Chains A and B, each alone.
Chain A
Amino acid sequence: MAADPAKPAAQDPNEVFLRLWTHHEPELRAFVRAGVPNAVEVDEVMQETSLVAWRKFSSLSDVSQFPRWACLIARYEILMARRRHARDRLVLDEDILALLADEGAEEMPVRQQQLAALEHCIAKLPRERRELALAAYAPATKMKELAAQLGRTEGSLYQLLARIRQELLMCVERTLAQEAQKS
């Protein structure tokens, strides 16, 4: 059975932090992803968030509040990133990012369930679709080149990815609804 990250055996704050961060990083990354459209920027925001959270960890009195607390730090870093990239295309206004972040912080338990459901939903995708999605989302993929290798237009590849995302979203919602019914 996995150890409860909120009840670490060791009291070394370093270990407690590392355990909490490792445990909650996936849903924090998903939280950040909603406000930052570019995977490289997500990495930057996550790195800054981890550094600030590390420095301020001693101020967190209740470790069960870690995800919410980390979201607050990430929210600030998302807004900072927005200011750095304010002149880029498709940068959402600050008030929208704040709304997305505030509501997203409330959804952290759901986010964890969604990520768990996604494991199964992605595994259930037809192999070719799964491989294509993973190739498209790999760090250095250039969509134009991938489209050329697949003999598709770039536009049709984006449409296909949108369909895959939508299928996965529906699969996640179906899975969570079934689990809710069972419990």
Chain B
Amino acid sequence: MPTVHFTDAAGATTTINANTGDSVMETAVRNGVTAIVAECGGSLSCATCHVFVAESDLPTLEPMGEMEDEMLYGTAVDREDNSRLSCQLRMTEGQDLHVTTPETQV
């Protein structure tokens, strides 16, 4: 079962078992990770599911699409090199993913 570790801006970590094929955003919303707002529900229209991915995990992810890249310019906390929108990250079998959530999404 894939696992996501969400670390908030204050440093507290929540570990959640995810379903293979679900997005990181869906995993967060269904498990009460409030640092992921995900207003639009995954249609790449709101940029409120922003996460910073642990450097060591970056190579395991599918590359970013053009629209995700554009929407990352609309995040509340400025993007960094390891920024992703968690609605675009699909959990794969056995994946162990570490992300940090920004101080605010809005």
A, B assembled together: no
Q: Which residues of B contact A (CB under 8 A)?
A: none
